[in-house]
Amino acid sequence: MKIESIADIAKRNIQEWVVTGHFQPGKQIKEEEISQRLGISRPPVREALKMLEAAGLVFRKPRCGVFVPEMTEKDMWEVYTLKATLYEMATGLAMDVVSERDLSKLESYVKKMEVCVEKEPLDVLRYQDLHKTFHNSIMVIAGNDRLRTFASNLHNQVTLFSYKSLQDKNHLNSSVRYHRDIVNAMKQKDRSLACRLMKEHVINALDVLRDMSAQGSETPAGLRSGKAASA
């Protein structure tokens, strides 16, 4: 089991603050502030910010510092439609090689997701972790390393949108059903159904966020219309 470094701990905390909206879009993330909050020196904070920048969860303005990104509806559409295509492809590739052991693991993740939904209050951060693990497992089974790398970078950006929507229990229940149905389709060796469900699942999440935006709800990462601030 890998032991977390101080930089890893800093990264995990900063990521949580960004994803949950504790650090608002457009906010500058200052090394000194983080080091004081966490009671650590600045070098591991600097390393953590570099890791988050590489993952697309923060961005750096030359001579200004590191900031939380402001995402637009166009960003959201691009991220989710591309994710739908990549994961539909990965599901098809996984169908060629998936084993009973793989299916058992996927099923165990779905059961853990169900536990998160049943909790009061909802365990959204744990659900996000399980959701990422499930989708990453599909990529691992598919066996295409480049596809997996592209998808991993996209998934990091998805977390900027998804936290708020996952606080809606109806959406969480729908998400769990999709994952359960995907596993069942894979068990039945129904490639067409598994691929269709995966694509529907991702597009459904996009539709939920669009509805929230249309209704004037505050969406994750302060979703707004118009052009995003350039990095």
Please report, for residues 70, 106, 140, 149, 158, the alpha-carbon distance to residue 77 in angstroms, rounded to integers and kept in the order given. Answer: 14, 27, 25, 20, 11
With b for 16 or more beta-carbon neighbours within 10 A and e for fewer, the 41-72 pattern comes to eeebbebbbebbeebbbbbeeeeeebbbbbbb
- Residue 228 banded pLDDT, cuts 50, 70, 90: very low
Q: pTM of this prediction?
A: 0.79
Domains, the chain, in order of start with CATH, read: 6-67 (1.10.10.10), 73-222 (1.20.120.530)
Contacts by residues 173-176 (CB-CB < 8 Å, ≥ 24 positions apart): 173/117, 174/204, 175/113, 175/131, 175/201, 175/204, 175/205, 176/110, 176/113, 176/114, 176/117
Q: Where are the beta strands (DSSP E) in the chain?
A: 28-29, 59-61, 65-67
Model pLDDT for residues 149-193, shown as the tens digit of each residue: 989 888 878 877 777 677 778 889 999 999 999 999 999 999 999
Query: In angstroms, rounded to a whole number, what is the distance separating the alpha carbons of residues 50 and 104?
Result: 36
- Residue 216 banded pLDDT, cuts 50, 70, 90: low
Query: In angstroms, rounded to a whole number, what is the distance separating the alpha carbons of residues 134 and 182?
Result: 11
Model pLDDT for residues 43-77, shown as the tens digit of each residue: 999 999 999 998 888 999 999 999 998 878 888 89
Mean pLDDT of all residues in 19-26 = 85
Model pLDDT for residues 5-19, shown as the tens digit of each residue: 999 999 999 988 988
- Residue 224 banded pLDDT, cuts 50, 70, 90: very low
